[in-house]
Amino acid sequence: KKAEAWSALFSEPMSELVQRYTASVDFDRRLWDADIRGSLAHAEMLQAVGLLSAEDGAAIQRGMAQIRAEIEAGQFEWKLVLEDVHLNIEARLTQLVGDAGKRLHTGRSRNDQVATDVRLWLRGEIDELLALLAALQAALVDVAERNAEVILPGFTHLQVAQPVSFGHHLLAYVEMFARDAERLVDVRRRVNRLPLGAAALAGTSYPLDRERVARSLGFDGVCQNSLDAVSDRDFAIEFTAAATLCMVHISRLSEELILWMSQSFGFIDLADRFCTGSSIMPQKKNPDVPELARGKTGRVVGHLMGLVTLMKGQPLAYNKDNQEDKEPLFDTVDTLRDTLRIFAEMVGGITVKPEAMERAAKKGYATATDLADYLVKKGLPFRDAHEVVAHAVKTAIGRGIDLSELTLAELQAFDARIEADVFEVMTLRGSLEARKVLGGTAPLQVRAQVARHRTRLAG
Ligand code: ARG
């Protein structure tokens, strides 16, 4: 067995253990499409600047077309001994078209090649994630619109606070996912720059036309420093940070779905196809999907930490450490993609139980603030009103009744300013509809937000 991939410098073959340790083809083969596209653009440019003959250019195109077909048909033979996706494809090309294949690597290194491939691949994935994020938002907006009038106890500290529209609550997540999308769009701008031409680290003496390659691959521009181009993976870290935040948002939504579906809350039900049963307890229907999403958030957070740590001690320029960027990055994309896809579907299948929500809101004195605000409007300073209502709530709790079940005379004993119009104010619906401020929970506002989101998502 000879030292296949390298050169005459090597006098013995790599040990098998080292071969397995250093090889990445088992996972980086997923970059094959980006690798072929990058190579074709490089070859086209080599030809344009006179570094490659037209015949060689045509041979490379022909060879790459066959390789593409072989990979798509699952017939390509990936070899561990050829280490990674780049060397596998190049070796096969040379096998197919001879010397033209050997000329492809002119003015190129795997260092700028891999950085280019990852960026090309990630750009495509970001575009798919953006489409999925839009679909999830659209699904949430639909459910929000149908539930604009449904009253949910809003919580702070997980204690009943004030009534909110269930639609309003869902639209909070739409805001989060909209920001997640903004972040991805922003990251994409920095992903979309071309490293190719940086070669190993110092650039190249060949008169390469980097701008031409950038244009043909759809990059917005080229990386302006060769050392930086091959060595930094900040774009991957940034992407993973954006993905982490998106997963954190999904995780919070998951936690709420799980709570809401528990018997103690009973606010919603999830469609059977998103749940599983128990092997022992016949009555069980478990919200496995949101639980798993909450759990998978942990692994994405871990990938972010892994990538940041991977980068922190590396001297310029390229180091093999960077090969370790792939699995966390790939898994982040896979996890986020699958999670978004499943959530976009699951959200539409939520059954809402308005009576249970309303009952819970009533139990928690959710309109106490409204009574205080009522007294403020009658001239009492807010702090005093707060105190008056605290006494009223204490009395009501003692008797096991709602504030609205106290008689007018009883209420007037707390403050003489209270009149018969107070009962309207203390209803859940009155409380909800009063919060008409921009961004508030009044159904009127919720509908306006639904319309805004629809326009935004269509544009
Ligand atoms: N498989 C390598 C990676 O993922 C490609 C670049 C290797 N370059 C090198 N000089 N060893 O980073």
pLDDT for the residue numbered 440: 98
Ligand 1 atom 11: the closest Cα is on which residue? 320
Catalytic residues: 157, 278
Write out residues in the chain with pLDDT < 50, as ranges.
Answer: 1-2
What is the distance in A from the centroid of ligand 1 to the CA of 115?
Answer: 9
Task: Say how many C-beta atoms besides its own lie within 10 A of residue 39's C-beta.
Answer: 27
Most informative mutation of 108, 110, 119, 120 for ligand 1 (most atoms within 8 A of CB)? 110
pLDDT in tens, 370-405: 999 999 999 999 999 999 999 999 999 999 998 989
Ligand 1 atom 4: the closest Cα is on which residue? 323
Ligand 1 neighbourhood includes 85 CB (under 6 angstroms): no
Ligand 1 atom 3: the closest Cα is on which residue? 323
Is 100 in contact with 59 (CB distance < 8 Å)? yes
- B/e letters for 194-211, b = 16+ CB within 10 Å, e = fewer, are bbbbbbebebbeeebebe
Ligand 1 neighbourhood includes 23 CB (under 6 angstroms): no
Residue 155 main-chain phi, psi, to 5 deg: -115, 145
The residue among 129, 144, 142, 220 whose CA lies nearest residue 180 is 129
Most informative mutation of 108, 112, 114, 121 for ligand 1 (most atoms within 8 A of CB)? 114
Ligand 1 neighbourhood includes 320 CB (under 6 angstroms): yes
Residue 160 main-chain phi, psi, to 5 deg: -55, 130
Ligand 1 neighbourhood includes 322 CB (under 6 angstroms): yes
Most informative mutation of 31, 83, 84 for ligand 1 (most atoms within 8 A of CB)? 84
Ligand 1 neighbourhood includes 114 CB (under 6 angstroms): yes
CA distance 216 to 403: 70
pLDDT for the residue numbered 278: 84
Ligand 1 neighbourhood includes 111 CB (under 6 angstroms): yes
pLDDT for the residue numbered 1: 44
In terms of DSSP bridges, do strands 151-156 and 268-269 run parallel, antiparallel, or are they unpaired?
unpaired
Is 287 in contact with 270 (CB distance < 8 Å)? yes
Ligand 1 neighbourhood includes 312 CB (under 6 angstroms): no
Q: Read off the DSSP letter of residue 350.
A: P
Task: Using DSSP, state whether 262 is helix, strand or coil.
Answer: coil
What is the distance in A from the centroid of ligand 1 to the CA of 82?
Answer: 12
The residue among 289, 292, 308, 300 whose CA lies nearest residue 336 is 300
pLDDT for the residue numbered 362: 86
Most informative mutation of 78, 320, 322 for ligand 1 (most atoms within 8 A of CB)? 320
CB within 8 Å of 129: residues ≥ 6 apart: 184, 243, 333, 336, 337, 340
Claim: this prediction has a pTM higher than 0.90 = yes
Tell me: cis bond preceding 236? Omega within 30 of 0 counts.
Answer: no
Task: State the closest ligand 1 atom to the C-alpha of 83, by its place in the atom list counted from 1.
Answer: 1
- As given in the structure block, the two tokens for residue 446 are 């919720």
What is the distance in A from the centroid of ligand 1 to the CA of 426?
Answer: 67
Handedness of CA 57, 61, 62, 63 (dihedral sign): positive
Ligand 1 neighbourhood includes 162 CB (under 6 angstroms): no
Task: State the closest ligand 1 atom to the C-alpha of 200, by its place in the atom list counted from 1.
Answer: 10
Name all domains of the chain by residue range, CATH numbers in brackets.
16-106 (1.10.275.10), 111-354 (1.20.200.10), 359-458 (1.10.40.30)
What is the distance in A from the centroid of ligand 1 to the CA of 230?
Answer: 10
Task: State the closest ligand 1 atom to the C-alpha of 325, by its place in the atom list counted from 1.
Answer: 4
Is 367 in contact with 426 (CB distance < 8 Å)? yes
Task: State the closest ligand 1 atom to the C-alpha of 322, by its place in the atom list counted from 1.
Answer: 12
The residue among 301, 294, 298, 299 whose CA lies nearest residue 256 is 294
Q: Read off the DSSP letter of residue 286.
A: B
What is the distance in A from the centroid of ligand 1 to the CA of 114?
Answer: 7
- As given in the structure block, the two tokens for residue 315 are 């001297």
The half-sphere exposure of 408 on its side-chain side, counting CA atoms within 13 A, is: 8
**Could you give the C-alpha distances from 351 to 143, 173, 290, in angstroms and in order?**
10, 18, 15
In terms of DSSP bridges, do strands 221-222 and 193-194 run parallel, antiparallel, or are they unpaired?
parallel
Q: Does ipTM top 0.90?
A: yes
Is 195 in contact with 116 (CB distance < 8 Å)? yes
Ligand 1 neighbourhood includes 110 CB (under 6 angstroms): yes
CA distance 327 to 339: 18
- As given in the structure block, the two tokens for residue 253 are 């939504």
Ligand 1 atom 2: the closest Cα is on which residue? 323
